[in-house]
Chains A and B, each alone.
Chain A
Amino acid sequence: MCLAIPSKIVEILDNNIAIVDTMGVRRKASLELLNPKPKVGDYVLLHVGFAIEVLSEEDALESLKLFEEALDYENEFEL
């Protein structure tokens, strides 16, 4: 339940909704839980459709790298 994945904001729409890119998949995310509001290009942690924290680019890329490595790891061991 508590899975949250770093995602990059690619567009900000009306009503605190943004389009985010999560490892190549684009989807809508609510920005209601963030104050101040993030801007296009910022990385956020995405949980059940809500951005719950802004991440520094360095930290986001570190997290994504670990996440991708985990997926590679699963593929390697055919889990």
Chain B
Amino acid sequence: MKTNLNSKEVILKAKDTIIKKVEKLGKPIKVMEFCGGHTHAIMRYGIDKLLKGYIEFIHGPGCPVCVASMDRIDLAIELAKIPNTIFTTYGDLLRVPGSHRKSLLDMRALGCDVRSVYSCLEAFDTALQNPNKNVVFFAIGFETTTPPTAVLLKKAKEHKLKNLFVVSNHVMTPPAVRYILNSGISHIDGIIGPGHVSVITGTKIYEEFDVSIVISGFEAFDILKAINMLLDQHIKGERKVENAYTRAVTEEGNKEAQKLIEETLDTRDSFSWRGIGSLPKSALKINDDYEIFDAEKVFDVKLPASKEHPLCICPKVITGVSKPTDCKLFGNLCTPENPIGSCMVSSEGACAAYYKYQEVELCM
């Protein structure tokens, strides 16, 4: 019988290996997990508590809902308010409050036709079924979620749809990693690289970085294995890209997906990230060949200047400068049921993960 890789025994053995190596080094190691899925997994398994004092986790800006800037949420709300519009997006975004504390769900309660979709192709079907309405798909996500939007655009063009419009908020991992490393806001000894982003991009996108990066899967064993590999690099003084998620990730990635992105989307000159501000060449826009489907070009939406909640520290949480528990609103005024900041909305946000799993004491 094969070993149960997530079992308590295996996890405790991996813990001992990691702790012995850190003890030899004589100081704790700072590891940034870039992806929100990893943040969630680390909290769910209590890996942060398991390795407390040995590994400090800095939570990275890899939760797409969390990094959506307030002006993008405001844009979504304004688009949803346009008469005769069916507004569609992935479910996580619906509860993020905009500048005026209203979310897309609030807009639905006020009579706007706001729908959550599992797949963006549901927006395509909705457009076909409702020829007299405008259907907007508000696309968010990192590289993993971008190729489906490219497919949606191609299908819209093939079918000559006149009533489907897309907003691309797709952001890219390398510019955010570059920002974290160059800004000096947090010292990082190594990065747990995103697993499913890398399925699309391949591991080659990380080769420019002068830091240890290990691509990881999402289970407890995967994450402990990645930390162990980062430690080995640290001990040897190496800074390279390694792949601990060979089950799914290759060096070159999914070339068909990359080709579809190239055919439909272009790099934006700059894009605003919550907590980071404007980052050059960090996001994608719909290219000129598909501009008739670009909601940002078709609809003339005027947005007043956006504003963050004065006490919310999501911007600092997103960049790893502060922990969720440093926030005065955490757990009292801001909860998953009544979120004030985006990091409390998405299950991949650091605040939501801390809130849900704060009592977890793995195997202890």
Q: Which of A1, A3, A33, A35 contacts B151 (CB 8 A)?
A: A33
Residue numbers in B under 8 Å from A53 (CB-CB): 199, 248, 254
Whether A66 lies near B222 (C-beta < 8 A) is yes
A:10-55 near B, CB below 8 Å: 30, 32-35, 45, 47-50, 52-53, 55
Query: For the complex, what is the distance from the CA of A74 to the CA of B120, rounded to whole Å?
Result: 30
Q: Which of A2, A48, A72, A74 contacts B44 (CB 8 A)?
A: A74
Query: For the complex, what is the distance from the CA of A11 to the CA of B309, rounded to whole Å?
Result: 49
Whether A48 lies near B360 (C-beta < 8 A) is no
Whether A69 lies near B119 (C-beta < 8 A) is no
Query: For the complex, what is the distance from the CA of A71 to the CA of B7, rounded to whole Å?
Result: 12
Q: Which of A1, A4, A45 contacts B141 (CB 8 A)?
A: A1
Number of interface residues of B (CB under 8 A): 53
Q: Which of A1, A3, A62 contacts B142 (CB 8 A)?
A: A1
Query: For the complex, what is the distance from the CA of A23 to the CA of B286, rounded to whole Å?
Result: 35
Whether A69 lies near B219 (C-beta < 8 A) is yes
Shortest Cβ distance from residue B135 to the other chain A in the assembled complex, whole angstroms: 17
Shortest Cβ distance from residue B229 to the other chain A in the assembled complex, whole angstroms: 17
Residue numbers in A under 8 Å from B64 (CB-CB): 1
Shortest Cβ distance from residue B74 to the other chain A in the assembled complex, whole angstroms: 21
Taken residue by residue from 244 to 284, chain B's Cβ proximity to chain A (1 for < 8 Å, 0 otherwise) reads as: 00111000001111001000000000000000000000000
Whether B197 lies near A2 (C-beta < 8 A) is yes
Q: Which of A4, A49, A59 contacts B119 (CB 8 A)?
A: A49
Residue numbers in A under 8 Å from B196 (CB-CB): 2-4, 45, 47, 52
Answer whether residue B344 sits at the interface, using C-beta atoms and an 8 A cutoff.
Answer: no
Whether B217 lies near A63 (C-beta < 8 A) is yes
CB-based nearest A residue for B91: A1
Answer whether residue B35 sits at the interface, using C-beta atoms and an 8 A cutoff.
Answer: yes
Taken residue by residue from 159 to 190, chain B's Cβ proximity to chain A (1 for < 8 Å, 0 otherwise) reads as: 00000000000000000000000000000000
Please give 5 more A-B residue pairs, beta carbons under 8 A apart, in addition to A2-B35, A4-B196, A47-B145. Answer: A2-B62, A33-B147, A35-B255, A59-B246, A66-B221
Chain A to chain B contacts (Cβ below 8 Å), 11 pairs = A1-B64, A2-B196, A3-B218, A33-B256, A48-B141, A49-B122, A63-B217, A65-B5, A69-B7, A73-B45, A77-B360
- Chain A residues within CB distance 8 Å of chain B: 1-4, 30, 32-35, 45, 47-50, 52-53, 55, 59-60, 62-63, 65-67, 69-70, 72-74, 77, 79
